Amino acid sequence: MTWRPAHDGYQVKSLGAGLEQVSRRLGISSPRTSAAIFGSWAEIAGDQVARHARPQGLRNGVLSVVVDDPRWSTQLRWLSPQLVTKCNALLGQDLVERVEVRIGDISEPPSGWDSPE
């Protein structure tokens, strides 16, 4: 018996393309977008802020950021317009509309996050 595709007419896509499509449908950022923001966080936020704040994800235009202290929460809220501008400049499109800040543990990367290869 010779192998043949189960359904004729389906176009084979790369795993990355499939993930991009699923991400769009769910309203979450694509892996590439997340990798760009996470990988450039120190440049986006500045070294001092980056030591106390970590991006957690981007969903429906909202960049979620966790800070390790209430004082940094206030600082991030004040800086949020600049963070939005810098993220969008990095991405080359307006994907970040606002920043949402919460206080938490920044010692661990966000669940489900794999560093870019």
pLDDT digits (tens, 9 = 90+) for 31-86: 788 889 999 999 999 999 999 999 998 999 999 999 999 999 999 999 999 999 99
- What average pLDDT does this structure show over 73-101? 96
Superfamily holding 28-103: DnaA, N-terminal domain (3.30.300.180)
- Residue 112 pLDDT > 80: no
Q: What average pLDDT does the segment 3-14 reach?
A: 62
In this prediction the pTM is: 0.71
The predicted pLDDT at position 35 comes to: 86
* Phi-psi group of 111: left, alpha or beta (phi > 0 → left; psi -120 to 50 → alpha; rest → beta): beta
